[in-house]
Amino acid sequence: MTVLVAGSGGLVGSAVVRALGAAGFSDVVGARSAQVDLRDADAAREFVTATAPAVVVDAAARVGGIAANNARPVEFLHDNLRIQANLLDAAHAADVSRVLFLGSSCIYPKFAEQPIREDSLLTGPLEATNDAYAIAKIAGIMGVQSYRREYDRRWISAMPTNLYGPGDNFDLESSHVLPALIRKFHEAHVAGDATVTVWGTGTPRREFLHVDDLAAACVHLLEAYDDPAPINVGTGEDVTIAELASLVAATVGFSGEIVYDTSRPDGTPRKVLDVSKIASTGWKPRIGLAEGLASTYRWYLDNVAGEGAGAEQMSGVVK
């Protein structure tokens, strides 16, 4: 059967394509933004209809870190609403039997009880720095549930925690915290800088999942999960931003001082997911943070930093 991965050029989509191939799916079709603009309803419907997939994985989204979300809420709201609505409409028109919509853990209230259960959705106010993106993703969940209720579609939605890995965005203006830290500490190490400045107080706690673990979870959920409620995908473990910064510094070999800019926003105080539901289906992550960070840094050296010799750069730093 044909599986269509929307957003196949991104961090998540490319990992899902790899995982599907490894699982034996021989007919996997990617949809990159250069191929089809999913914000265009007609283009989305034409592309999906022509592809005629049995399964669609929606990994297409406008994404970014705190700075990008806070600066451009209109784009994060409108682009994601259009992408999701158009893709679900196209999948319905093409009679797609299985859709996996990928949301984000930012859908949950800022002060949700920790670890965050799936039933925390819509029980409190959102984090203000990315509320527009969160609302769009909540609308995607409701879209999946609505198609299930009205048309009896076996469509599902999954909510990943903070992701990282090969193919990540390392732009300091638009990236998430972990790739931004990798770039900051790498550049400071190369330049011989004495300090690196990290946004916020360093006290917020975050959970991080390697994107290849998420991709494996996607393949698993397509086979093992069929429920209208979203399902969390994470590790169930978290670290402080200060602990993360220290781990990144050690990974890249930076030995200077870490300075915290407390004038910058921290975001949600703590965000770690309750992963008991997905654990009950038989799935668990396999890549630890230290291991995943080391492999991600190697990828950054070989593909972004222009070093072209990741293993040599890291020798003696990370084993």
110 marked among binding-site residues: no
Q: Which one-letter amino acid corresponds to residue 29? A: V
For the chain, the distance separating the N- and C-terminal CA atoms, rounded to the nearest angstrom, is 41
Residue 106 makes CB contacts below 8 A (sequence gap 6+) with 126, 127, 130, 133, 134, 137, 271
161 marked among binding-site residues: yes
- Distance, in Å, from the CA atom of 241 to the CA atom of 213, rounded to the nearest integer, reads 21
Catalytic member of 133, 147, 297, 300: 133
81 marked among binding-site residues: no
137 marked among binding-site residues: yes
267 marked among binding-site residues: no
189 marked among binding-site residues: no
7 marked among binding-site residues: yes
Torsion of CA 145, 151, 154, 159, to 10 degrees: -20
Strands of the sheet containing 270-271, edge to edge, are 239-240, 205-206, 270-271
206 marked among binding-site residues: yes
Q: Are 99 and 88 in contact (CB under 8 A)?
A: yes
Question: What's CA 272's distance to the chain center, in Å?
Answer: 14
11 marked among binding-site residues: yes
Reply yes or no on whether 133 is catalytic. yes
Binding residues: 7-13, 102-105, 137, 160-163, 176, 184, 199, 206, 266
Which residues are designated catalytic? 133
Binding residues for substrate: 184, 199, 206, 266
Binding residues for NADP(+): 7-13, 102-105, 137, 160-163, 176
